[in-house]
Structure 1
C-alpha cells in the first residue's frame, strides 16, 4: 500500500524522505507544475506516475508511454521517480532522454506509443518542475483528465499492475531532427538569430535551422539551468529586447526566440521590432491562406482582433474562431475542427497536416516563418509586419494572485463588468459593447479597444492583455480602466511587466 500524499513536509527530515508530498494546487487545468521540494518531493512524483498509470488503465489506453525531460538540474531525477511510479502501475516506459516537449509529442507518432509524460516546467523560473501529459495523441490532458488524476493521486487510489517495463531509446534526437529537416532547403541562406535563453532548445534549434540552409547566429544557446541572462520566455520583454539587440548588431533578417521546452517561438523583425506572436500569426495566416484558400484557423481569446477583420484573410476566404487560451484547449479545438493552424498569443502554434501533426512545436513555427520569408524574397519581415492593419497591443502582463484564490477573483471581475454593462456604465470613457466570457472575460468598447482578464493556467498569476485599433492612448486608457477593476480585489499583486 502506497502512503497517502500530504500537502506539506519539511525538507531534510525523515518524513520528507519517507512520505509523498503533493500540494493540490499543482494540478493545473491541463498540466501539472510545482516548486520542487517546496510543493512536491520525489515520492510525490512517484505517486503522480502511479496515478497516470491508473488513469491509463481506467481509460483503456494501451500501457505504453513516452517520457522525456528538460535541462534543469533536477529534471532527470524527477523523470526517474515518475518512471518508477509508471512501471509500478504496469506501464511500459519509452525514455527518449533530454528532449523538447514537441520532441516527446513526435515520439508518440514515431514510436507508435499512445501516451506521453514530459518532465518540464517550460518557461517557469528555476525551481519549478512539472509534467505535460497525454494519453490520446496528439492531445494533452484537459480539465477532465486533470481532475481525475488529482483525485487518484491525492487519495492514493492506485492499482498496481504487472507488466511494467523500461527501455531507453538511443539517439532519438537525431530521428526528431531528421523529421524536421528531410525536406527542400531554403532557396537562400536567410540570416537568423536563434535565441534560446540557455534553455533546452539550445541543444536543437541551431542544428535544425542550419540544416535547412539558414545562416544561424546563436544567442544564449549554451545550456544553463540557472538561466543567467533572462528566463527563456518569448513573451518576456527582457528576452525580446536581447533578441532585438542581436538582430540589429548582426544585420539579421529575423530573430527567433524559443522558450524553455521548445514548444513556442517569438519573433523580432529585421528592424528590431518585437512582433507579438498573435500578429505573427496573422502574417502566417495570410501566407498560408493564399496557399490553402478557405482555410480554417483557431485563435485564443488573448489574440488580436485582426484575425476577424483583416481584409486579406477575408479575401482568401479564411474562417477564424476565437477559443480558450491554453495549449490543451487549443490543441483539442484545432483537432475537432480540422483547422489548418491554431494560433495562441503566447506563441503556441498548432499546425495540422500538411504542415504538422496537430501539436505545438516552436521549431515547426520557426520553419513556417522562414518559409514565409523564402516565399517573399522582395519583402522583409518588417515589410510584412507593416502590411498588417495598424493596432496597438500589449505584451501579456501577469499580476500575482495565489492559486487558491485566482479563479474566484476572475469570477468577481466578470461579475463586475457584467454589472457595469447592465447599468450602462462607461469603461475608459466608452460604453461596453461586448463581453466575451469563454475564458475569463474580454471586455470590448465601442471603438474596438478591448481588455482581457483571465487566470493563468500554470502559475499563481492572473493574465491581462489589451489592444486598440484606435490609438496607443486608447490602449493605455483601457489598461488603466481594467487595472482599476482588478485593484478592487486586494488579493491581486504586482505585475511582472506593464505598458
Structure 2
C-alpha cells in the first residue's frame, strides 16, 4: 500500500516517504486549495525537520505565505489554526506509528481533508501537474503557540492536588504536559518526558498494552491516583487506574460522557469498535449516542457534523466541543477534574460501568480485495440487522460482531461482543461461518487464545 491512507499520508521515511515527496506535496496542496496562506508544524521525530523544510519550500513555490510553528503537538497545531488565517494546514507527524515512520495530517480551510481531496493530491503528485504561484511565497517562524495553548488550558481548568504519573513516551507532549500539570498543582511523576524523536523507551502508541507496561508498574509503586500516557504527537491518550490496570478507552468515554451529560444534554459520538455499554449509558443519561466509522478522520467528521459534546475512539482520540478537535492533554485534564470532584478512585468509577465480553481486534492478513469478501458476507447476513457503516456489522440488543477491511494495511479486522458467553459464541459463529474456510480457521485459532 502507498503513502496515501484513508485519512492522511504516512510511510517509512527514506524508503516510502522522502523529502522530495514533502516538497511535491507542498506544490500539490497549492493547486488543491488555491489560497495564499499556509500553516505548518511538526512533531519530535528525527525526520520531521527535513520533511518540514522541504514542505515549506514546496508551499512557497506554489505562492503561499507559510507560517511555521516549529515543533508542537498536533492539538497545538489545531489550536493555532483556529487563530491564524490559513488556507492550508499541514502537520508533519506519523502520530502513534513507530519511529521510522513519518507523514502528514492535512487541513483545508481549517477542516480535516476528505478522501476525494487526498485522491486529488495523490494524482497531482503522480503526474507532476503543479502550478507556480502568481506571487512569490514567503516564510516566517512563530514559536509562541505552545505557551499560548498552555495559558488557554490554565485558564480553562481549576487547580488539582492528585498525584499523577505522566508518560509522555519522549514525544511532543513532553514539551507541554509536565509543566502544565505542575502549574495546575498536580503532583507529577515524570516518565519518559524528555523529547527524543528516536523514542528510546517505548513505541509511540499507548493503546498497545506492552507499550505502557512501565506506566502500569509505576502508578501503584508511587501511590498515584492515575497514570496517563500519550502518543507521539499528543492527540491520543491512554489511562491507567490507581492499581496499575489500564482502562479501555470506550470505558473512559463512558465516564466522560456521564460527566458531561450531567451538566448538558447533547450528542456523544463513538466509533464502531466500542462496546455496547457506550450507547447504552449515553441513552440512559438522556444523551444522543451516534456511531461513526472507525478511524480518526471519520470520527472527527461525525463529531463536527453533529456538534457533539464529545467524541471518542477506542484508539484514544477524544474530541471536545470546547476545542472543536481532539487532544490527549485536554482529555487528561477533564478526567482529572472528574476524579477531583468525585473523590472516587478511578477503579471504583470504572466498576460502576457494566462490563460485557468483548474481543480485541482479530487481525487476519488478506491477499486481494478484502472489500469483495466483506460485501459477500454482507449479502449472506442480510436477513439479520446489519450496518454497512464500517465493513459489515451485525448487531442484536445483547451482542454484535463486525468484519471490516483495514484502511491502512492488507488485513481483515474482526471484533465481537456479547453480554454473556453464550451470546458471544452465538455472534462469533454466526459471522465466521460466512468467511471462506481459510480465514474462518485463522480467526478461530486467534479467538481460542483470547477467550480460553
The TM-score, its normalising length taken from structure 2, stands at 0.91
CA contact (8 A) 1:107 1:113 kept: no
> CA separation in 2, counterparts of 1:450 and 1:219?
38
Say which SS state the counterpart of residue 182 (structure 1) adopts: helix
Q: Offset at 1:183?
A: 3.4
Q: Offset at 1:241?
A: 2.9
CA contact (8 A) 1:69 1:118 kept: yes
CA contact (8 A) 1:235 1:396 kept: no
Deviations 1:55-83 (A, max 9, x none): 110xxxx4212111111111100111111
Which segments of 5 or more consecutive residues in structure 1 lack a partner in the other structure? 1-23, 423-432
Give the number of equivalent residue pairs: 444
Counterpart of 2:8 in structure 1 is 31
Say which SS state the counterpart of residue 2 (structure 2) adopts: helix
Q: Offset at 1:467?
A: 2.6
Say which SS state the counterpart of residue 346 (structure 1) adopts: coil
Q: Offset at 1:369?
A: 0.6
Deviations 1:287-322 (A, max 9, x none): 100011x22111111111122222xx3343101110
CA gap 1:127/1:395 in 2 versus in 1, 3 angstroms = same
Q: Offset at 1:127?
A: 1.5
* Superposition map of 1:197-212 within 5 A: 197-212=169-184
* Superposition map of 1:147-166 within 5 A: 147-161=119-133, 162-166=135-139
> CA separation in 1, counterparts of 2:373 and 2:87?
40
CA gap 1:460/1:234 in 2 versus in 1, 3 angstroms = farther
Say which SS state the counterpart of residue 267 (structure 1) adopts: strand
Counterpart of 1:314 in structure 2 is 283
Deviations 1:74-118 (A, max 9, x none): 110011111111111111111011111111111112323343100
> CA separation in 2, counterparts of 1:221 and 1:461?
34
CA contact (8 A) 2:17 2:102 kept: no
Say which SS state the counterpart of residue 25 (structure 1) adopts: coil
CA gap 1:83/1:443 in 2 versus in 1, 3 angstroms = same
* Superposition map of 1:427-466 within 5 A: 433-444=384-395, 448-466=398-416
2:379 to 382, 400, 418: 418
> CA separation in 2, counterparts of 1:391 and 1:166?
54
CA contact (8 A) 1:447 1:469 kept: no
CA contact (8 A) 2:33 2:87 kept: no
2:234 to 262, 266, 270: 262
Counterpart of 1:10 in structure 2 is none
Is 1:273 aligned to 2:234, yes or no?
A: no
> CA separation in 1, counterparts of 2:274 and 2:228?
19
Q: Offset at 1:140?
A: 1.1
> CA separation in 1, counterparts of 2:29 and 2:418?
44
CA gap 1:460/1:179 in 2 versus in 1, 3 angstroms = farther
Is 1:51 aligned to 2:51, yes or no?
A: no
> CA separation in 1, counterparts of 2:437 and 2:174?
40
Counterpart of 2:59 in structure 1 is 86
> CA separation in 2, counterparts of 1:198 and 1:475?
39
Q: Offset at 1:26?
A: 1.1
Counterpart of 2:266 in structure 1 is 295
Q: Offset at 1:282?
A: 0.6
Counterpart of 1:225 in structure 2 is 197
Q: Offset at 1:398?
A: 4.2
* Superposition map of 1:86-485 within 5 A: 86-137=59-110, 139-161=111-133, 162-186=135-159, 188-292=160-264, 294-310=265-281, 313-352=282-321, 356-377=322-343, 379-400=344-365, 405=368, 408-420=369-381, 422=383, 433-444=384-395, 448-471=398-421, 475=424, 485=435
CA gap 1:420/1:436 in 2 versus in 1, 3 angstroms = closer
Q: Offset at 1:249?
A: 1.2
Say which SS state the counterpart of residue 116 (structure 1) adopts: strand
Say which SS state the counterpart of residue 122 (structure 1) adopts: coil
CA gap 1:184/1:120 in 2 versus in 1, 3 angstroms = closer
Say which SS state the counterpart of residue 53 (structure 2) adopts: helix
Q: Offset at 1:226?
A: 2.8
Counterpart of 2:18 in structure 1 is 41
Q: Offset at 1:142?
A: 1.5
Which segments of 5 or more consecutive residues in structure 2 lack a partner in the other structure? none
CA contact (8 A) 1:108 1:114 kept: no
CA gap 1:127/1:461 in 2 versus in 1, 3 angstroms = farther
Bigger mean CA deviation after superposition, 341-350 or 106-115: 106-115
CA gap 1:109/1:417 in 2 versus in 1, 3 angstroms = closer
> CA separation in 2, counterparts of 1:460 and 1:71?
29
Q: Offset at 1:447?
A: 6.4
CA gap 1:70/1:56 in 2 versus in 1, 3 angstroms = same
Counterpart of 1:67 in structure 2 is 40
Say which SS state the counterpart of residue 385 (structure 2) adopts: strand
Bigger mean CA deviation after superposition, 117-126 or 315-324: 315-324
> CA separation in 2, counterparts of 1:319 and 1:118?
32
CA contact (8 A) 2:270 2:313 kept: yes
CA gap 1:253/1:316 in 2 versus in 1, 3 angstroms = same
